[in-house]
Amino acid sequence: MFTLILFVGILALLVLVHEWGHFFVARKSGIKVYEFGFGFPPRAFGWYKDPKTGKFVFVNGKGKNTLKETVGGEDRESPDEFPATVYSLNWLPLGGFVKIKGENGELAQESDSFGSKPFWKKGSVLIAGVTMNVFLAAVLLSAGFTIGLPADKDVLSDPRAIVVEEPAVTAQQVENGSPADSAGVKYGDILLSISGTPLITSSDLVTYVEAHPTEEAILEVKRGEDIVTLTLTPAQLSDEDATPRLGIILADAGIVRYPWYIAIWKGILAALFGVVNIFLTFFFLIKGLVTGQGLAFSVAGPVGIAVVVGESARLGMSYLINIVAMLSLSLAVINILPIPALDGGRLFFVVYERLFKKPVPMKYEQTAHTIGFLLLMILIVVVTWRDITNLF
């Protein structure tokens, strides 16, 4: 239950920060905002501040907004259903939205419409959410470097770094169905020894497995304050690679911190490098799918992410801050990709209009966003189902 509550809280933070970016820039650009929603319609309830009385008014039920209008980009049939922006909670808790007037270029003759604004204002509104997620990650990482964050042993050579925990051989990821997974190795475990051989660096484990490729081994790990003994045997993990492996991605990781004035700069740099690394990850993911090589690594859905969040919380605040920052950066990168229904998809149509001096016909853009949203929902369902089956 704690993991579920923590995951929902983190999801709410990431979504609200992202959507607040769109909301803030749209309002500052003079664009009317119909609704600021957490989750997707139908609406559960909401509220708005009456401009005449100054009082908050509670809205119960779905009202006249629809899922198609929200994700497909259609302007609402009843745009002035309420006299002010509605702040809503909706029944499909898979993200959030800011519904703005004329977001596909319609109503361009009205000054408070998205369609009436110049290119740079449109672009600013669309990238504001992504920018806020990168900013949030930079803030979290800066705070993390002030109190201590997991870091590779190479970082420990920095004379400005203050070592909180000495580096140790740490499990960063465990491959599903691998010998390590079957034995019970978990994310964040510190590997102490294998069959009596001390593990000082990750290469020590690699050397041992190479020397004993088919022998059963006794792996001693530290998990929190406990010492756990696990039994496992290396095995071939894929048809493409006959080398016996345990299925653990390792890092020689410790905990380091910096003085606050260095931590701020380190946090900003870590966020920017994180964006680059996630873009590269998506490149190799898409490349593998296009070339028929399959997934080069596992992809987690909401359930899988919730599990990782829970495991990070178990390891301590340093690990939790790190994973939340990475989730924020991942959300930023996914949203800026040119996928219909996402920020990058909408930005693509705005750039197309700028380059070719004419917009894509509205019905085609709306259809693209609707189809894009449906495909994303199907992907989430498939990945979530796989996450659930992996749990058992």
CATH number of the domain where residue 244 is located: 2.30.42.10
**pLDDT for residue 233 is more than 90:** no
Q: What gap in Å lies between CA 360 and CA 352, rounded to an integer?
A: 8
Domain co-membership, 175 together with 299: no
Domain co-membership, 386 together with 264: yes
Classify residue 74: in a domain, yes or no: no
Displacement of CA 361 from its chain's centroid (Å): 32
Domain co-membership, 319 together with 205: no
Classify residue 62: in a domain, yes or no: no
Kindly state the DSSP code that residue 213 receives in the 8-state scheme.
T
Q: Do the Cβ atoms of 257 and 145 come closer than 8 Å? A: yes
Q: What gap in Å lies between CA 31 and CA 309, rounded to an integer?
A: 37
Domain co-membership, 174 together with 277: no
Domain co-membership, 273 together with 390: yes
Q: How high is the pLDDT of residue 340?
A: 86
* Distance separating the N- and C-terminal Cα atoms of the chain: 18
Number of domains in the chain: 2
Q: How high is the pLDDT of residue 141?
A: 95
Q: Do the Cβ atoms of 76 and 63 come closer than 8 Å? A: no
User: Measured at the alpha carbon of residue 186, what is the angle toward residues 253 and 157, in degrees to the nearest 5?
Assistant: 0
Classify residue 103: in a domain, yes or no: no
Average pLDDT, the chain: 83
**pLDDT for residue 244 is more than 50:** yes
- Of the three residues 257, 283, 312, the one that is the final residue of a domain is 257
pTM over 0.75: yes
Low-confidence winner among 127-131, 165-169, 344-348, 385-389 (lowest mean pLDDT): 385-389
Q: What gap in Å lies between CA 330 and CA 157, rounded to an integer?
A: 28
Q: Which residue segment(s) compose the domain that 248 sits in?
A: 162-257
Strand partners for 193? 198, 220
Domain co-membership, 137 together with 269: yes
The number of helix segments (H) and strand segments (E) in the chain equals 10, 12
Domain co-membership, 365 together with 271: yes
Classify residue 25: in a domain, yes or no: no
**pLDDT for residue 303 is more than 70:** no
**pLDDT for residue 156 is more than 60:** yes
Nearest CA to 100 among 67, 68, 137, 74?
Answer: 74
Q: Do the Cβ atoms of 348 and 338 come closer than 8 Å? A: yes
Domain co-membership, 188 together with 302: no
**pLDDT for residue 40 is more than 70:** yes
Q: How high is the pLDDT of residue 21?
A: 95
Domain co-membership, 392 together with 334: yes
Domain co-membership, 388 together with 266: yes
Domain co-membership, 209 together with 300: no
The pair of three-digit structure tokens given for residue 295, joined into one six-digit string: 């997934």
Domain co-membership, 139 together with 180: no
Q: What gap in Å lies between CA 190 and CA 187, rounded to an integer?
A: 9
Q: How confident is the model at residue 296 (pLDDT cuts 50, 70, 90)?
A: very low
